[in-house]
Structure 1
Amino acid sequence: MIPLIGLIIGIILGMFLKVDIPAAYSTYVPVAILAALDSVFGGFRASLEGKFQSDIFISGFFGNVIIAALLAYLGDRLNVPIYLAAVFVFGSRLFNNFAIIRRQIIDMAKEGKHVRRKNDEA
């Protein structure tokens, strides 16, 4: 639930705060945002599965963002569009996580179950 709350807060802040991103970072920021969204969807999926751990989420969130931005930067220095690899990987993971989340929510709705936590008994 924490990732979803963070995403909602981020969207609300983004709508009301005027933030201009310099053109020099126009390749890095979208890739970093895609990596962050991948982490948020992964965290939400883990929460639905009752496996969410905040330390894993936080380290994965910042790790993914940093790696994605570094790949984009390295690609710029080498004049090779390496950022496309990050877009492909994080994009496919995002859609995969969304598909799993969707299936879990539909299954829970059909069975009338609530979100299962790690400590709950089946």
Structure 2
Amino acid sequence: MVAFVGLILGIVLGIVWNVNIPLKFSPYISVAIFACIDSIFGAIRSSLNKDFRPDIFVSGFFGNAVLAALMVYLGDKLGIPIYIAAIIVFGERVFTNFAIIRRLLMERAKFRH
């Protein structure tokens, strides 16, 4: 529930505030957004499994975003586009969590009927 409220709040704030991000920061922001989305889907999944812990969610949400941004920075300094690998990994995790969430919801709906 906390993740869902945070997601809605973030979407509303993003729509209300028109924030322009310089092009040179776009790899950092894209990876950080994917890391945060990964944490949100992980929180929804763990909530459906009834083992959600807010401390794990918050530490993962911010920790993943910071770690991902640091990896992109390191890649920039080394001249290697590490952000592409990070986006692929986080993207895979998002789709895996979504698939598990979908299955859990379908199983629950099946048992209710």
The ranges of structure 1 where at least 4 consecutive aligned residues each deviate by more than 6 angstroms after the TM superposition are none
In terms of fraction of residues, the more helix-rich structure is 2
Show structure 1 runs of 5+ residues with no match.
114-122
Q: Which residue of 1 aligns with 2:67?
A: 67
Q: Note the aligned Cα RMSD (angstroms).
A: 1.2
Show structure 2 runs of 5+ residues with no match.
none
CA distance in 2, matches of 1:105, 1:27: 33
Q: Which moved more, 1:100-109 or 1:19-28?
A: 19-28
Q: Which residue of 1 aligns with 2:111?
A: 111
Classify the secondary structure of the residue corresponding to 1:41.
helix
Letter in 2 for 1:45: R
Letter in 1 for 2:91: G
Sequence identity percentage: 54
Classify the secondary structure of the residue corresponding to 1:27.
helix
TM norm structure 2: 0.95
Deviations 1:37-58 (A, max 9, x none): 0000000100000000000001
Deviations 1:64-104 (A, max 9, x none): 10111111111111110111121111110000000000000
Show the 5 A alignment for 1:89-108. 89-108=89-108
